[in-house]
Amino acid sequence: MVPLAFAAHSRPRHFGSQSLKGRPFRLAKRIVKNNKLDQITFTDRLRISFKWAVDPVATFLVRLGVRANMLTVAGLLGITFAAYWLSQGKFTWGGLLFLLMTPLDALDGPVARLRGEPQNFGAFVDSVIDRYSELVIYAGLLWYAQKLDHPWLAMAVYFAAFGSVLVSYIRARAQSVGLEAKVGFLSRVERYFILGPALLFNVPFIGVTIIAIGANLTALQRIFYVRQAAHKQKS
């Protein structure tokens, strides 16, 4: 899901209750070391930098009895309503709701951790719902484009969806063969940072076009990175 949606493709792991404020980059390096990665992503930096703000909210929600999957499903429903508004050409309202649903994606991971819920299945569900959330937005924009007979917008939406899915798919396939591919300048969080304001300010074509180009370049970037990593592993 957007701005604070730095739960990326999985729910964050627990690194202790010690305050993280003021030490984001040192802890980011620790995350990379613990996960045997050689990459620190923008999503990692956001997750660490805003942990001090997210955790108290997550603690409050846990006290209210809120579960992680409740937040995940609520976010998907909100995004679906936003997609409907986009399909009707109401970009400002659709973009606003799209942005308002973003924090839910940042909170489901911490809520799951605080409640002691199963992390593996939760991360799986979260990742699947993230794909649905992103694609339903593109579906709304595609409906609007075909209704107005706007072929350029329709093509931009198609290639944005195409690239967005490939970025996630390449990482998943790399992980399945024991490699990691989190590199790239336009992962899901960055795409939301672009799409949200573009919708809010009623310039969807600009936002979608940037994503269409950037997401596919990111997919190629990850392919080349996996190729290099595989050769290093072989040698």
Q: What is the dihedral of CA 200, 4, 192, 75, to 10 degrees?
A: -80
CB 128 within 8 A of CB 9: no
CA geometry: angle 4, 8, 14, nearest 5 deg: 90
* Biggest CA pair distance of the chain: 55
**Which two tokens mark 23?**
């030490």
The Cα–Cα gap between 235 and 224 comes to 17
CB 106 within 8 A of CB 2: no
Helices (H), ranges, the chain: 24-34, 42-49, 51-63, 68-87, 91-100, 102-115, 119-147, 151-176, 188-200, 204-234
The Cα–Cα gap between 205 and 43 comes to 25
The Cα–Cα gap between 231 and 7 comes to 30
- 126 is an active site residue: no
Can you tell me whether residue 183 is helix, strand or coil? coil
- Determine which one of 55, 108, 130, 149 is catalytic: 130
Which of the residues are catalytic?
130
